[in-house]
């Protein structure tokens, strides 16, 4: 709790007993949202995903304090007038012109496989002429897991941005920019969750290695999840320094092979068995590490299932024996990362994104 809020609570009792003339200080938009989220997520079942859904539905958690109604779109004449704002940006792409409030409109273009948003804000005067308005600061890159929409907080129009977080904890940052006649001041609600990792499937070519490595699989998945940058892995079951040095060239060649076009985005090996996870293909960049297991030093490949670079599914872990180009898969695991409940909700002032496209 913020120190100044605690002081207000301590002072509130005696004052209220003597007079009702002083009204309670109004909550900010982010305080309202934070209080709502804490109340809703007291029940962890709220975040249970429907079968087949790849993402947590945070909009459901935020409603009804935050609402995202269907935007009011411009007519053909206004749409045509707004199109020059995008001259030279992403070519001739489809975009929308959405009403914000009063004479203010937002033109937004969504382009590329990462669904990146580009925005322009403008007002329309009585003669129908358009005047550009400075675009309010954004707090993510507005690509893929970062987006901004026109919504409302308890009925008050606002620009609402969401940044989905996966490292080092699951969560979402919600940045709220109230739309007023004055210069908008943004605030942020940061929601973080506890998680748990467990093996849901295992596939064995070498049963001895498979049995010995299964307890390590959730730790390898968690090491990748906890990496702030999503790439630097904490050490799990390291080999001796001598063995690590001996295999330095081998692991470098393995990483190069995994990054190659031919080996590319490959399916996790199952040694002929059927697999249940929705996305059995490695996505994104490969992560490799040496681990000591069952008296051997093996190369572990750790990643997430998905499509191309999009990480959508469970963690996939494959263990390889061999050196140089002769890598032989000996065991593999599917590890589920499950949201097990609310960890924290905090409010603050967000930092504008400095690398916005």
200 and 259 share one domain: yes
Does the residue 29 lie in any domain? yes
89 and 160 share one domain: yes
30 and 150 share one domain: yes
Domain count, the chain: 2
178 and 305 share one domain: no
Does the residue 50 lie in any domain? yes
Give pLDDT, residue 16: 33
Does the residue 210 lie in any domain? yes
180 and 203 share one domain: no
102 and 184 share one domain: yes
Does the residue 44 lie in any domain? yes
54 and 128 share one domain: yes
150 and 299 share one domain: no
Does the residue 3 lie in any domain? no
220 and 139 share one domain: no
189 and 231 share one domain: no
252 and 211 share one domain: yes
Does the residue 19 lie in any domain? no
**pTM, entire model:** 0.86
Q: Which of 212, 343, 342, 319 is nearest to 271 (CA)?
A: 319
Does the residue 17 lie in any domain? no
Does the residue 78 lie in any domain? yes
CB within 8 A of 278, min separation 6: which ones?
A: 52, 54, 305, 312, 313, 314
- Would you call 211 exposed, middle or buried from its count of C-beta atoms within 10 A (0-12, 13-18, 19+)? middle
| Domain hosting residue 232, numbered range | 195-338
What is the residue-level pLDDT of the chain in tens, covering all 357 positions?
Answer: 443 333 333 333 333 333 333 334 457 899 999 999 999 999 888 888 877 788 888 999 999 999 999 999 999 999 999 999 988 776 556 689 999 999 999 999 998 888 899 999 999 999 999 999 999 999 999 999 999 999 999 999 999 999 999 999 999 999 999 987 555 689 999 999 999 999 999 999 999 999 999 999 999 999 999 987 666 788 899 999 999 999 998 888 888 888 775 555 789 999 999 999 999 999 988 799 999 999 999 999 999 999 888 899 999 999 999 865 678 999 999 999 999 999 999 999 999 998 644
158 and 28 share one domain: yes
Written in H, E and C, the secondary structure of 223-291 is HHHHCCCCCCCCCCCCCCHHHHHHCHHHHHHHHHHHHCCCCCCCECCCCCCCCCCCCCEEEEEEEEEEE
CB of 304 closer than 8 Å to CB of 284: yes
């Amino acid at each position: 709790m913020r120190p100044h809020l605690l002081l207000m609570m301590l002072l509130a009792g005696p004052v209220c007993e003597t007079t009702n003339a002083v009204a309670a200080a109004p909550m900010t938009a982010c305080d309202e949202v934070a209080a709502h989220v804490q109340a809703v997520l007291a029940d962890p079942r709220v975040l249970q995903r429907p079968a087949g859904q790849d993402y947590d539905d945070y909009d459901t958690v935020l409603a009804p304090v935050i609402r995202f109604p269907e935007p009011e779109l411009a007519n053909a004449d206004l749409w045509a007038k707004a199109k020059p704002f995008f001259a030279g940006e992403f070519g001739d792409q489809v975009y929308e012109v959405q009403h914000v409030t009063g004479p203010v409109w937002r033109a937004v273009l969504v382009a590329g496989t990462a669904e990146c948003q580009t925005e322009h804000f403008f007002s329309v005067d009585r003669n129908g002429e358009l005047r550009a308005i400075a675009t309010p600061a954004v707090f993510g890159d507005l690509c893929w897991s970062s987006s901004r929409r026109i919504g409302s907080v308890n009925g008050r129009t606002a620009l609402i941005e969401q940044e989905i977080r996966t490292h080092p904890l699951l969560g979402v940052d919600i940045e709220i920019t109230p739309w007023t006649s004055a210069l908008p001041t943004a605030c942020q609600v940061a929601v973080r969750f506890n998680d748990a990792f467990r093996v849901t499937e295992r596939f064995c070519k070498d049963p001895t290695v498979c049995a010995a490595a299964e307890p390590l699989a959730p730790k390898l998945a968690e090491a990748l999840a906890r990496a702030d940058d999503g790439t630097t892995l904490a050490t799990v079951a390291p080999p001796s320094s001598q063995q690590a040095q001996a295999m330095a060239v081998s692991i470098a060649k393995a990483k190069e092979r995994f990054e190659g076009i031919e080996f590319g985005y490959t399916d996790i090996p199952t040694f002929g068995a059927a697999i249940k996870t929705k996305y059995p293909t490695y996505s994104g960049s490969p992560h490799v590490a040496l681990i000591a297991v069952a008296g051997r030093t093996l190369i572990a490949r750790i990643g997430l299932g998905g499509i191309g670079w999009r990480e959508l599914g469970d963690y996939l872990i494959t263990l390889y024996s061999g050196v140089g180009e002769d890598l032989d898969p000996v065991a593999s695991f599917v590890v589920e990362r499950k949201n097990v409940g609310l960890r924290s909700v905090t409010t603050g002032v967000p930092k504008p994104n400095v690398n916005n496209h």
